[in-house]
Amino acid sequence: MFTFDDLKSMELTGFAPFSPTNKFRGKIVYFPEKEYFTILNRTGKNIEVMSNNTGHCWNLIYEKDCYTIMHKHELSDPYHYQTCIGSLYDVVLYIVGHDEYQMRNRHNVSVEEEKRSGSYFWKLIDIYGLTA
């Protein structure tokens, strides 16, 4: 199972897409030398991160074998409840999938098209498998 330390190490992954211009651009541009997340705050079983792709912020609160995910679109916005997910690995996949959806102008695409586009979501699955 992923830990917050694993998330910190993922921040430095060489596969991470990054571009502030990706937000609502319609085409995902990858800059693998950049970090995927900026960790904004970490206290106890709580970690707050910002996606460097979309600027969206995520507050991950671990309680009772589940990560409660709070989300906001801008730093100045208040958080709203997004969902609850069992493992940090699945949380990361959820956030990456959300980012890629946003970066495609909120257009759904087929799995085949997503894989052909060099999706980071599918790279994570290739690296870590369907479960971690």
Give pLDDT tens digits along the chain (132 positions).
Answer: 445 566 655 554 433 444 555 555 556 665 656 677 888 988 888 889 988 878 899 999 988 888 999 999 988 999 999 999 988 888 888 898 888 888 776 666 666 776 666 677 777 777 777 654
Q: What is the pLDDT of residue 38?
A: 83
Q: What is the pLDDT of residue 52?
A: 80
Q: What is the pLDDT of residue 44?
A: 83
The total number of structural domains in the chain stands at 1
Tokens 């801008």 belong to which residue? Answer: 74
- Report yes or no on 132 lying in a domain: no
Q: What is the pLDDT of residue 22?
A: 53
Provide the residue range defining the domain that includes 55. 4-127
- Report yes or no on 50 lying in a domain: yes
Joined together, the tokens standing for residue 100 give: 């890629």
CA distances from 56 to 37, 52, 76, 115 (A): 10, 8, 11, 23
Joined together, the tokens standing for residue 43 give: 């206290």
- Report yes or no on 89 lying in a domain: yes
Torsion of CA 119, 124, 129, 132, to 10 degrees: -140
Q: What is the pLDDT of residue 45?
A: 83
Nearest Cα residue to 90 out of 116, 69, 71, 106: 69
